[in-house]
Structure 1
Amino acid sequence: MSVKFRRSLLFASGALLAVAAFAVPVVAGTAAADPGAAGSGNQARIVGGEKASLADHPYAVYLTDAGGNQFCGAVIVSSTSVATAAHCAKAVAKQDIRVVAGREDKRTGDGQVLGVSKVWVSQGYTDPTKGGDVAVLTVRGQFGYRPAKLPDSGDAGLYAKGTQATVLGWGRIADGGARSDYLRSAQVPVVSDSECRTDYDVYDQRTMVCAGYAEGGVDACQGDSGGPLVVGDTLIGIVSFGDGCAKANRPGVYTRVSTYADDIEAQAKPRLLG
């Protein structure tokens, strides 16, 4: 089994091209990479999904490098911060990361483009398959869009088998397929811990959660790392890794946000403006 992150990097003509690869219904990507190489892939957008609206999901954002190349997704968690995957936060130097909010169609100039002043990565993170694949980026400025809610102790039921969740992103519609210019979404059911452990021997139920259909067909793909998995407006997962896109018995693996909610909240606390 070849486990892939949802983001990969390559250099072409001196420009950094970032691509997120993942195996659950998820967001967009950027430049193409070798879809067969571990840790790399083509841009991914929701597989089996549909066009989505920021009016319904105003907290969905994406990350670019300084050259405007999208390499990951993210989600607004406060007026000054976004949560994303740790492997996304470590892919590009802090001074070169841009957070694009309020831009449903990437070809437009809508919304906000904010630089990043601070990067927090979960302590002990090494790679997505070992857990801790979560980061918080503090932006220079403030968002004018509603943040997603973080789960609390009363939201344990959101992780129950069969719970319908929504994954969001701007990635490819198929492994190696064309990239999307628009925000897309897909509905995927939460998979039980025991089933996901059967599908992935690296699965850790404390730090990860799986979502997808046994028969495949709906999933995230390359370029969607760091994007949100939500139930209603509550963030339960962050796109992390998977085996290809939308394969049978290979659900997408997400960071389990409930495990890191306190850390995310502490890091996302809006700055006091003096």
Structure 2
Amino acid sequence: MLLLLLISSAFLLPWAGAGRIIGGKEVKRHSRPYMAYLHIQVLYPSSRKAYSCGGFLIGPDAVLSAAHCVDKNGTVRVTVTLGAHNISVRERSQQRIPVERWVTPPKYSSDGHINDIVLLKLKTKAKINKNVKQIAFSGSNERVTVGTKCSVAGWGWTAVEGRGSDVLMEVELKVQNDEPCKQLFHNYLRHSMMCVGDKKGKKTTYEGDSGGPFVCNQKAYGIVSRGVGTRPFPKVFTRISYFEPWIREQLRKFALQELPGSPSSD
């Protein structure tokens, strides 16, 4: 059995311990073909940092993740790896694509991870195949009921000490009512956030899992966003249904910008 862990503070820097699925299991190879591994480099005037986040493919050139993953001082460069199971080796199934640009909601705030969602535009379109596929996401009127078990996947540590997992891990967590999150997070917004977790504290996500999808019935309903202190429960996920109109609008803009003669086309 995997070791249990209390999650770290949401205020820790992502590279201090990138990504943990705790109390979960290794997924069947390529059974989550929508998963994206984000390698993020932050270039400062005199130093460089690197860390990782999760994400998921919703279009041939579009990946959703958490805004706080790319909200850093300095020059940020993001490379997305699709079709991966073991990120420590160059699998034939992998596609590594630089991110051209990204967009966050106008009212995104790093203080409390408000509107914690980002849409990444890939420099080239992914080749869709059995190992790389898009996932549907919830519409504006879709919600999952309290008590529903859904899955979260990510690469990263499985214990408080050690190193990140090379292979993709997965854990099942329940949708909770809003009360535990309201009590713990003063700026919890039920319309744009979800309260998720394992009340027993045996299963949880961690920092580098940020940006990964909360998948219910083969559809993404949430995005891993934040926790607090050393508590394994509860966690706050971004509620995708609230942002569905914004996502659709940005995807249309991406498509328009690819048309010949558009300002950003080559």
Q: Classify the TM-score, shorter chain.
A: 0.7 to 0.9
Give the 3 Å change call, closer, same or farther, for CA 266–195 of structure 1 in structure 2: same
Deviations 1:11-54 (A, max 9, x none): xxxxxxxx3xxxxxxxxxxx4x2xxxxxxxx2232100000135
Which residue pairs with 1:52 in the alignment?
Answer: 27
| Counterpart residue identity of residue 164, structure 2 | R
Please state how far the C-alpha of 1:184 moved relative to its aligned partner.
0.6
Please state how far the C-alpha of 1:130 moved relative to its aligned partner.
4.8
Displaced runs of 4 or more, over 6 A: 92-95
Give the 3 Å change call, closer, same or farther, for CA 65–199 of structure 1 in structure 2: closer
Which residue pairs with 2:3 in the alignment?
Answer: none
Unaligned runs of 5+ in 1: 9-18, 20-30, 34-41
Tell me the matched-pair count: 239
* SS of residue in 1 equivalent to 2:179: helix
Higher gyration radius (CA) = 2
TM-score (norm 1): 0.78
* SS of residue in 1 equivalent to 2:186: coil
TM-score (norm 2): 0.81
Alpha carbon RMSD of aligned pairs, Å?
2.5
| Counterpart residue identity of residue 132, structure 1 | N
Larger RCO, structures 1/2 (Cα 8 Å, 6+ apart): 1
Give the 3 Å change call, closer, same or farther, for CA 260–7 of structure 1 in structure 2: farther
Q: Which moved more, 1:264-273 or 1:234-243?
A: 264-273
Unaligned runs of 5+ in 2: 1-6, 42-47, 261-266
CA distance in 1, matches of 2:239, 2:188: 11
For residue 4 of structure 1, the aligned residue among 2, 9, 18 is 9
| Counterpart residue identity of residue 77, structure 1 | I
Please state how far the C-alpha of 1:273 moved relative to its aligned partner.
6.0
CA distance in 2, matches of 1:128, 1:104: 33
CA distance in 2, matches of 1:6, 1:72: 15
For residue 146 of structure 1, the aligned residue among 114, 122, 133 is 133
User: Could you tell me the percent identity over the aligned residues?
Assistant: 27
Please state how far the C-alpha of 1:254 moved relative to its aligned partner.
0.6
Which residue pairs with 1:125 in the alignment?
Answer: 108
Please state how far the C-alpha of 1:201 moved relative to its aligned partner.
2.8
